């Protein structure tokens, strides 16, 4: 088995595999070719799978005092745009973190995070 970078010649194979896949029916091949992402093709004589990646940053947030809501909120609100800009300059395309705190989830959604499975939140960078 070998791996290689995706090429334009893989488009049709990817298109038909996505179209017939019950979990990815609405995914277009362009998803695997998006700027800022990379895609490897694993194959023997013919392709077996496509693996797409992008540069994500997993965050952990620890407040010194969880009950100091106003100070914590202000620190996040005032510093988040600069943090995102620095992440973008470093090549990151997504911020990811988990929290079981309902208050933190609600506030992060106001910053532009979206909740995915379970307690995971994601923010797409520009």
Among 54, 72, 87, give the residue marking a domain's end: 54
Neighbouring-strand partners of residue 31: none
62 and 119 both lie in a single domain? yes
115 and 63 both lie in a single domain? yes
Q: CB neighbours (10 Å) of residue 43?
A: 16
pTM: 0.74
104 and 118 both lie in a single domain? yes
Give CA separation, 121 vs 1, 54, 63, 74, 102, in Å: 35, 16, 17, 20, 12
Full pLDDT tens readout for the chain, 126 residues: 999 999 999 999 999 999 999 999 899 999 999 988 999 999 999 999 999 999 999 999 999 999 999 999 999 999 999 999 999 999 999 999 999 999 999 999 999 999 998 899 999 997
Among 39, 54, 69, give the residue marking a domain's end: 54
Q: Which two tokens stand for residue 91?
A: 């090549």
50 and 85 both lie in a single domain? no
Return the beta strands (E) in the chain as ranges: 2-5, 37-43, 47-54, 56-58, 94-98, 114-115, 120-124
Q: What is the pLDDT of residues 37-63, one digit of tens each?
A: 999 999 999 999 999 999 999 999 999
Tally of domains in the chain: 2
């Amino acid at each position: 088995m070998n791996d290689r970078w995706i090429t334009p010649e893989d488009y049709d194979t990817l298109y038909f595999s996505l179209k017939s896949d019950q979990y990815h029916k609405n995914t277009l091949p362009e998803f695997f070719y998006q700027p800022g992402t990379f895609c490897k093709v694993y194959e023997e004589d013919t392709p077996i799978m496509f693996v797409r990646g992008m540069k994500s940053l997993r965050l952990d947030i620890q407040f010194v005092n969880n009950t100091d809501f106003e100070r914590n909120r202000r620190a996040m609100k005032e510093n988040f745009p600069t943090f995102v800009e620095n992440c973008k300059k470093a090549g990151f395309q997504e911020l990811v973190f988990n929290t079981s705190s309902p208050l933190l989830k609600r506030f992060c959604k106001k910053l532009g995070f979206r909740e995915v499975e379970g307690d995971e939140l994601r923010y797409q960078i520009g």
